[in-house]
C-alpha cells in the first residue's frame, strides 16, 4: 500500500492534474494506491478517479456527529465526499493541535463506523529517539487503541519518525525494522498493514521497502510529483 499525503498543498487545478497523473500510472492490481488531497478537493478528485482503483483519503476529520462545530468536517462527510480512508494522528497535527491517541479514539471509532479505514500515525521526535525513548513513545501511542478494544484488523498503522518527516533524512533500515517489529509485537496481529513514512523518495524507497515488516509507505513531499510517486510505487513492486 502506497499512500500520498499532499498536506496543505495544491490549488484545485494542480490537484486535479496530479490526481489524473497518478491515475495514469501503471501498477499491479495487488498494490493499493491512495491519495489524500486537501479536504476541499476531495469531492472533485473522487469523481476523477472513480473508475480506477485509486483510493481517496482525507488528512483528518473529527469524530463527532453533525452539530455546532464551526470549521469541522466529520467522518460521515468525508465518506460521503468519496473517501475510503482518513489519516489520523499525523505528527504535524499532534504537535500543532495537541492531538493525542486518547483524544483520537472517538475519531478512530467514527471512521471505522462509516466503513472507511484510519491510517493511524505514530512516531517519535528526535529528542525522544536520542534519549532512548523511541519505542516507549510509539508503544504509548498505540496502547490506547488496544485498551479501547479497537478492531485493529480494520486499521492501517503508519510509523513516521518525526525527525524524518520532510527533512530528507530517512530512518535507517535497522531503525525501521526494529520499530516495525515493536509495532507488530504490540498490536499482535499479522493482517494490519504497517507503513513507513518520513522522506520516502525514489532514492530511499528500495532501502525502506527491503526493511522487514514494512507493508508500504505514507509519502508526503514526493507524492506531489507524479513521476516521483510513480518511481516509489515501482520500487515497491520490484521488491
Interaction site with ligand PGA (CB under 6 A): 5, 160, 165-166, 197-200, 218-222
Cell of 54: 485509486
Taking the complex as a whole, the smallest distance from the CB of residue 51 to ligand PGA amounts, in Å, to 27
Given a contact cutoff of 8 angstroms between Cβ atoms, the answer to whether 57 and 83 are in contact is: yes
Taking the complex as a whole, the smallest distance from the CB of residue 36 to ligand PGA amounts, in Å, to 9
Between 7 and 79, CB nearer to ligand PGA: 7
Between 111 and 208, CB nearer to ligand PGA: 208
E-state strands within 89-198: 117-122, 156-159, 194-197
Between 111 and 222, CB nearer to ligand PGA: 222
Q: What is the DSSP letter of 37?
A: -
Partners of residue 56 on adjacent β-strands: 35
Helical axes 226-237 vs 12-24, angle rounded to 10°: 30
Return the active site residues.
90, 160
Between 118 and 197, CB nearer to ligand PGA: 197
Cell of 179: 520499530
Q: What is the DSSP letter of 16?
A: H
Helical axes 12-24 vs 39-48, angle rounded to 10°: 40
Q: What is the DSSP letter of 26?
A: -
Amino acid at each position: 500500500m502506497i499512500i500520498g499525503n499532499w498536506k496543505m498543498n495544491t490549488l484545485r487545478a494542480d490537484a486535479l492534474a496530479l490526481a489524473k497523473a497518478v491515475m495514469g500510472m501503471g501498477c499491479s492490481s495487488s498494490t493499493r494506491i491512495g491519495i489524500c488531497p486537501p479536504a476541499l478537493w476531495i469531492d472533485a478528485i473522487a469523481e476523477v478517479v472513480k473508475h480506477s482503483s485509486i483510493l481517496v483519503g482525507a488528512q483528518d476529520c473529527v469524530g463527532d456527529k453533525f452539530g455546532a462545530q464551526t470549521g469541522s468536517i466529520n467522518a460521515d462527510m468525508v465518506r460521503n465526499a468519496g473517501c475510503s480512508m482518513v489519516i489520523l494522528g499525523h505528527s504535524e497535527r499532534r504537535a500543532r493541535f495537541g492531538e493525542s491517541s486518547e483524544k483520537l479514539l472517538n475519531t478512530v471509532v467514527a471512521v471505522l463506523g462509516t466503513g472507511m479505514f484510519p491510517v493511524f500515525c505514530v512516531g517519535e521526535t528526535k529528542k525522544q529517539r536520542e534519549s532512548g525513548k523511541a519505542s516507549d513513545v510509539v508503544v504509548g501511542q498505540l496502547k490506547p487503541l488496544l485498551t479501547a478494544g479497537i478492531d485493529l484488523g480494520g486499521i492501517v498503522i503508519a510509523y513516521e519518525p518525526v525527525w524524518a518527516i520532510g527533512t530528507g533524512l530517512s530512518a535507517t533500515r535497522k531503525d525501521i525494522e526494529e520499530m516495525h517489529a515493536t509495532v507488530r509485537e504490540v498490536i499482535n496481529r499479522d493482517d494490519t498493514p504497517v507503513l513507513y513514512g518520513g522522506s520516502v523518495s525514489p532514492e530511499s524507497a528500495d532501502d525502506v521497502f527491503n526493511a522487514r515488516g514494512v507493508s508500504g509507505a505514507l509519502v508526503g513531499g514526493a507524492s506531489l510529483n507524479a513521476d516521483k510517486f510513480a518511481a516509489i510505487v515501482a520500487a515497491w513492486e520490484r521488491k
